[in-house]
Structure 1
Amino acid sequence: MKKLFACICLLIIVLGCKEAVASEEVASVSMAAPMENKDKMVDATVEETAPTETQIIRTSNLRFETDNLTDSYQNIQKAIVKHKGTLQNDASGKDYGSTFRNLTIRIPNTSFIPFLDEISKGVNHFDRKEISSQDVTEQYIDLESRMLSKKTLEKRYLQLLQKANKVTEIIEIEGKLAEIREEIEAKEGQFRYLKNQISMSTVTIEMYTNDASQSGTTSSFGGKIWNEIKSGFNGLSRFILGIISIWPFLIISILIFIFIKRKFKKKTQ
């Protein structure tokens, strides 16, 4: 009985030793795992931390008539300052019978609707009022993920560059790094532009007035007659100047006509 108990104890000790050796081998294998597996873990972490918040680009296009362009512009300018926006473009001009002013405004996304509500208060009617929202969440996540993946790849090549000994290997790795860095810069530029479009909404305003005093036109009958007289005089002036500009051709034509006429008279005689 004692011999049997001793054999069982010896068997337990042997099995315990084997398990200890196996655990040490697993630990050594995990410590010596290749960098590629670790990089895969890094990539997985990048994908898991990708933003899930909805990314929206908002734009608006407005067109309306106003009684006073100056007052309307000043009201819009106050709203821009209040909502911390910027006036990106300001163009004005005159059509026959009207004066217009076109504005392009960038407004923080959080103030988009409040800004539209404020500038709409003094408008009786909109000829056009367009508000659009474009969901670019998928594009945002995809672009960010590609950019981070390229940066991870760049780190790998930098590690290989430190270990490289041959000149040919160094040149090849540096060539790959140059390509990767160029792609990273392009992705970063696209990403910055997309983030700017998301954070700052674009509002385009076309406003005009038919007020004769602001447009510079004259609606009286006498004024119209005077404008037609000036138009006719300008037309006559352009005609005379056109004839003067071709005087050499006129002289040559006259001389040829006289020569042909004399020849014809001689033949008839």
Structure 2
Amino acid sequence: MRKLFLPFCILLLMSGCKKSELDVATSSPSASADKAVAVADYEMEASKSPQVAPSNTISEKLLPDENVSAQPSVTPKKIDTIAKKVIKNGNMKLQVGDIKKAQSQVANILKKNNAYIQTEQFQNTDVDDNLDLVIRVPHKNFDALINSFSDGVGSVLSKNISSDDVTEEYTDVSIKLANKKIYLEKYRDMLRSASTTKDMIEIQEKIRELEDEIDVAEGRLRFIDDRVNYSTLNLSLYKEKVRSSATSKIGFGSRFGDSVTEGWNSFVSFLLGIISFWPFLLLIPILIYLWRKWRAGRAK
């Protein structure tokens, strides 16, 4: 009986171990596989979606170089080809026989060329008369205006014409202005969606700066357009009052009178020049007195 009981117990133990191994084999792989899949999915999601700390302030979002994802996406506006921009300026000095007659001729020439006088200054001296005019004329009529003054108004004493190509500057300012306007609209959109007072204040400051820069750029473009569309000419009309006997074509009597007048004017100028030295003339008697006193003391 003992011999049969012992083998029976061994068989029961062996069957129990096999059953437990079978349960482990059937349950463990499934759980391990599910766990491995979950870990793999987590790692994959982690690699695809890295955690990025959000910017603390709107200022960081507005700075274009620090956080590209936070700044407003701006597509530079394409600028059409800009026509050549050339500013023309000129200076002329004419010697005329009569200022009033020359002024009337200038008015007729300006009317024909659609020009106008911006400033006018007249100066009357003992020697000559001068009429200085700043004339604005359409760019296309500038050369014709210069030729009209050279031909029929008087003798040209001096003439200087200059041209300044500002196409590059005009294009650069136009491109920057267009981009600033796009940025301004983006910041206004950000202002409408701002959630905190701090963000609103910082965005409003950016908007104010952009508006100031836009005003300056637009003013510069208007100035360039004005100078390009209307050229500037500084015209000086000169009339000499005192005729020189060497160049005068009038009779002997008039030339003699001119000579007397010139001599008298020279004498008056000399006399006035001496009088202007009166403080130094007062020193002469003092110097003579001191010299005599010194000489008398030396003789003793």
User: How high is the TM-score relative to the length of structure 1?
Assistant: 0.65
Query: Residues of 2 paired with 1:152 and 1:111: CA distance?
Result: 38
Q: How many residue pairs were aligned?
A: 218
Name which one, 1 or 2, has greater alpha-carbon Rg. 2
Evaluate the alpha carbon distance shift between residue 211 and residue 238 of structure 1 in structure 2; reply closer, same or farther with a 3 A threshold. Answer: closer
192-201 vs 132-141, which deviates more?
Answer: 132-141
What SS does the aligned partner of 2:157 have?
Answer: strand
109-118 vs 163-172, which deviates more?
Answer: 109-118
Give the superposed CA RMSD.
3.7
Residue 92 (1) aligns with residue 122 (2) = yes
Q: 1:222 aligns with which of 260, 266, 269?
A: 260
Q: 1:73 aligns with which of 82, 103, 127?
A: 103
Query: Residues of 2 paired with 1:155 and 1:52: CA distance?
Result: 25
Question: Is 1:212–1:219's contact at 8 Å kept on the other side of the alignment?
Answer: no
> In the TM superposition, what whole-angstrom CA distance separates every residue of 1:92-135 from its partner, at most 9, and x where no partner exists?
33567433322211111132223223333315643333333322
Which structure has the highest helix share of the two?
1
For 1:194, the aligned partner's letter is I
What SS does the aligned partner of 2:82 have?
Answer: coil
Match of 1:59 in 2: 89
Query: For structure 1, which runs of at least 5 residues remain unmatched after alignment?
Result: 1-33, 251-256
Residue 183 (1) aligns with residue 183 (2) = no
Query: Residues of 1 paired with 2:71 and 2:95: CA distance?
Result: 67
Question: Is 2:242–2:258's contact at 8 Å kept on the other side of the alignment?
Answer: no
For 1:115, the aligned partner's letter is L
Residue 156 (1) aligns with residue 180 (2) = no
TM superposition shift of 1:219: 6.4
What SS does the aligned partner of 2:233 have?
Answer: strand
Query: Residues of 2 paired with 1:51 and 1:105: CA distance?
Result: 31
What SS does the aligned partner of 1:101 have?
Answer: strand
Query: Residues of 2 paired with 1:229 and 1:142: CA distance?
Result: 64
Query: For structure 2, which runs of at least 5 residues remain unmatched after alignment?
Result: 1-69, 244-255
Query: Residues of 2 paired with 1:132 and 1:240: CA distance?
Result: 50
Match of 2:31 in 1: none
Match of 2:195 in 1: 165
199-208 vs 58-67, which deviates more?
Answer: 58-67
For 1:47, the aligned partner's letter is K
Residue 122 (1) aligns with residue 152 (2) = yes
> In the TM superposition, what whole-angstrom CA distance separates every residue of 1:39-72 from its partner, at most 9, and x where no partner exists?
41xx2xx324x34322221122222322222212
Query: Residues of 1 paired with 2:71 and 2:276: CA distance?
Result: 82
What SS does the aligned partner of 1:87 have?
Answer: strand
Query: Residues of 1 paired with 2:231 and 2:195: CA distance?
Result: 53
Query: Residues of 1 paired with 2:241 and 2:277: CA distance?
Result: 35
> In the TM superposition, what whole-angstrom CA distance separates every residue of 1:173-209 from its partner, at most 9, and x where no partner exists?
1111121111111111211111111111011212322
